[in-house]
Amino acid sequence: MTDIKVGVLGLQGAVREHMNAIEANGATAVLVKNKEELNEVDGLIIPGGESTTMRRLIDKYDFMNPLKKFAESGKPMFGTCAGLILLAKSIEGYKEPHIGVMDVHVERNSFGRQVDSFEANLDIANVAEDFTAVFIRAPHIVSAGENVEVLAKHNGRIVAAREGQFLGCSFHPELTQDHRLTGYFISMVDESKKN
């Protein structure tokens, strides 16, 4: 696994925790703070944070086109919480998406404010039947396109999904010691390197 390099977009959010989760799975974690560093990685995690702030930073550091090109190259991308919002093709109440590569429609802060943060046990298809997910001002997937595989729901709402090389979840998998979902993403990266 050590020849697999997974980048973490280092603009905002729980960057260090994601890097720890990558390394716990035996892959190499790379902090991506400028667009040139995208060329050095086989897959990319876009962490949680605040999606509007992240978008401002993406624009400030001229990341948008390089991120879209990264998606076009076929390399896997994993968006957690705000990262899911950035990957989504459409966002409730917004005319334009951000990166807009995953065929899902998301609603921001759909589980309430920061004070409404909670943990829930999820059954995530192909990953775990007992995954403790941490929800903090989390979005959820309102609807998904026909090629999107729904991996997990919480109270009837879609909270994890995959479409080809794209993986998205509403929660923060990096905030627990359970690194199986990150491991699932790394296996996606491994698979895409072989093809």
146 is catalytic: no
Beta strands in the chain (DSSP E): 5-9, 28-32, 43-46, 77-80, 88-91, 102-107, 118-124, 128-135, 140-144, 149-154, 157-163, 166-169
Number of continuous H segments (helices) and E segments (strands) in the chain: 5, 12
CA distances from 20 to 4, 16, 82, 178 (A): 15, 6, 19, 11
User: Is 169 known to be catalytic?
Assistant: no
- For residue 189, give every residue at least 6 positions away whose Cβ sits within 8 Å of its Cβ, in sequence order, or none: 4, 6, 27, 42, 43, 75, 76
**What six digits make up the tokens of 67?**
């991120």
Catalytic residue among 18, 81, 140, 154: 81
Catalytic residue among 18, 98, 140, 172: 172
Q: What 3-state class would DSSP assign to 20?
A: helix
Report DSSP state, residue 175. Answer: G
Among residues 107, 169, 174, 179, the one annotated as catalytic is 174
Could you list the active site residues? 81, 172, 174
